[in-house]
Structure 1
């Protein structure tokens, strides 16, 4: 078992349990989340979407992920190129995320607010003029997205996308310097849809850019289908374990 998948199973076997003190906890978890790890990919139908129909993806990222899709197919999965059929839910995500930030910010005193990440403060302040009905509409939009994705998973066991849309950029930056982006969600268009739908997703390394920077693909499953996501990730990483290139010359990034 690859170490990353083993660690994920160990973590889920501890925290992925029903507890009455958690209002979001559910019953019916498997005895071991790694119960299907050795089943391989045969019989799995994976919908592959390069951009979910709305994201702008760097060509090198797209190429590495397409290569990974071919490798999954060679391992026995059925790969079908398809889009799940929804537009970007970024506005919905921001309504919920920023409102939650405002709820936290509003409970803090002036000193505590000075300790917050500036991005969180900006998000909270943006939500100040919003009305309750806007939050209600965002919750309704979230429910509709979840229903659409759950319908998609009646025909496909998993959905494959890139992990992120762009090449890695400098540390200590929320967005690539010099870009017109203002928030991390704009370079992570494959993350927030599944944050909203509460469906399990995992990122798997699948190669490197021309400069030796890492690229990954994402596999998302239906609600509570963590075991199947882990099964597919394990099969790929057993067949294609990450092999890191030598440390690149920093001068090539100057």
Structure 2
């Protein structure tokens, strides 16, 4: 196995193969990666632990020399979004209200990564408290799109998306409470996975508890699946992660029922290239079998399913809840997104919140009933490619100005947040490019806890798309 030009840009699977073949070591990989990052031209990182990562890389190299890796990610660099605690590292959560205090311990998912031998590289940037999907924040400023100057790389896992799009390592841990790994994944041409709620343990719970998921980001579905071998384990600190994890077994010989949908809710200004890409994909899937199961394609119209306004009201109420302990002076130190959401949440009435909760409950039930007759659902990840830097909505959206005024980014990205409400697994993968050559993603959703099916079929779909 010859040494490649850039170790930093190799996939996790390629790194592991290289370690096994003794073609290179984790120390060489980390040195190449740190050199590639250099001065962090895209503002992807909030913190890099050079000394700690080098120490861990040396220990990993010694284990590989003995033929005794700790786990599936031994020696693989992984970044952590700056909403997640890592022992000995500062955490800011993208907010001026969070001084760079050092965390006392690892979050459950980080503990899983550490035990597997992963090289914990550093913290990636996030919008303030993860509450916006552009890539701007009051602490770190703007995170740039490596593939498209002048366009938004997406958020709130903006640093993770920029890091991976730049080829700076293979894996990043992000978080997703309404699309925050899948939206930047779509904009940056990456794979990003929001697993079933509880599959990756979290702790402590935030105000967005039942909507919030941790999720890996990578450049391939195979690396996502590899990461889930480590991340998708229980931890007693998160009771939701203690569910049974037996793989679901499909009915033998039954068709694989796959829905396809280009609309959830009102018109969101879908890019014409995405509609064309769906037609091409359906033609590719027609008549195929997968693991002995005939693929059955079913058109799905969810144009009358609208959860964005109800979830936005709930979201703003949760921001208000999260800010209850803050003084007026502290609230004034928040960035404009958080201030606007806090004010909208404070203004909501009990009747409005009760109505919003009912809308979400009924909408979730409708989707669960839909998936009773479906194995998987194909949708776009986003209505288009990346919008302008600093923005979260395209001018093509019929309500673009109203959304900018309210800040309701959920309404601008209708395909992602319904699966936070239902807590189902949803995978975004690279799909195509618009007329300007910018990437957009395909979303594959499955029934709750059918994560293995989503990832397994997603890997096959990834290859078919390339044909």
Look up the match of 1:230: 455
- Residues 111 and 44 of structure 1: CA distance in aligned 2, closer, same or farther (over 3 Å): farther
Q: 1:212 aligns with which of 432, 437, 445?
A: 437
Q: 1:187 aligns with which of 404, 412, 416?
A: 412
- Residues 175 and 142 of structure 1: CA distance in aligned 2, closer, same or farther (over 3 Å): same
- Residues 204 and 71 of structure 1: CA distance in aligned 2, closer, same or farther (over 3 Å): farther
Once residues 216 and 79 of structure 1 are traced to their aligned partners in structure 2, the CA distance between those partners, rounded to angstroms, is: 19
1:138 Cα offset (Å): 2.7
Identify the range of structure 1 (226-235 vs 54-63) with the bigger mean alpha-carbon deviation: 54-63
Once residues 320 and 414 of structure 2 are traced to their aligned partners in structure 1, the CA distance between those partners, rounded to angstroms, is: 23
Once residues 15 and 103 of structure 1 are traced to their aligned partners in structure 2, the CA distance between those partners, rounded to angstroms, is: 29
Identify the range of structure 1 (176-185 vs 203-212) with the bigger mean alpha-carbon deviation: 176-185
Look up the match of 1:129: 347
1:140 Cα offset (Å): 3.0
Pick the structure with greater CA Rg: 2
Structure 1 or 2: more strand by fraction: 2
Q: 1:4 aligns with which of 207, 214, 220?
A: 220
TM-align CA RMSD = 2.9
1:55 Cα offset (Å): 3.4
- Residues 10 and 135 of structure 1: CA distance in aligned 2, closer, same or farther (over 3 Å): farther
1:22 Cα offset (Å): 1.1
Look up the match of 1:89: 307
Q: TM-score, normalised by structure 2?
A: 0.45
Structure 1 or 2: more helix by fraction: 1
- Residues 174 and 53 of structure 1: CA distance in aligned 2, closer, same or farther (over 3 Å): closer
Unaligned residue ranges in structure 1 (runs of 5+): 37-41, 243-254
Q: TM-score, normalised by structure 1?
A: 0.79
Once residues 73 and 120 of structure 1 are traced to their aligned partners in structure 2, the CA distance between those partners, rounded to angstroms, is: 46
Task: Assess if the C-alpha contact under 8 Å between 2:393 and 2:412 holds in 1.
Answer: yes
1:59 Cα offset (Å): 1.6
Asked whether 1:107 is paired with 2:325, we answer yes
Asked whether 1:140 is paired with 2:140, we answer no
Question: Across the two proteins, how many residue pairs are aligned to each other?
Answer: 235
Once residues 26 and 146 of structure 1 are traced to their aligned partners in structure 2, the CA distance between those partners, rounded to angstroms, is: 23
RCO greater where, 1 or 2, for CA within 8 Å and sep 6 or more? Answer: 1
Once residues 242 and 301 of structure 2 are traced to their aligned partners in structure 1, the CA distance between those partners, rounded to angstroms, is: 30
Identify the range of structure 1 (171-180 vs 147-156) with the bigger mean alpha-carbon deviation: 171-180
Look up the match of 1:25: 241
1:209 Cα offset (Å): 1.3
Look up the match of 2:259: 47
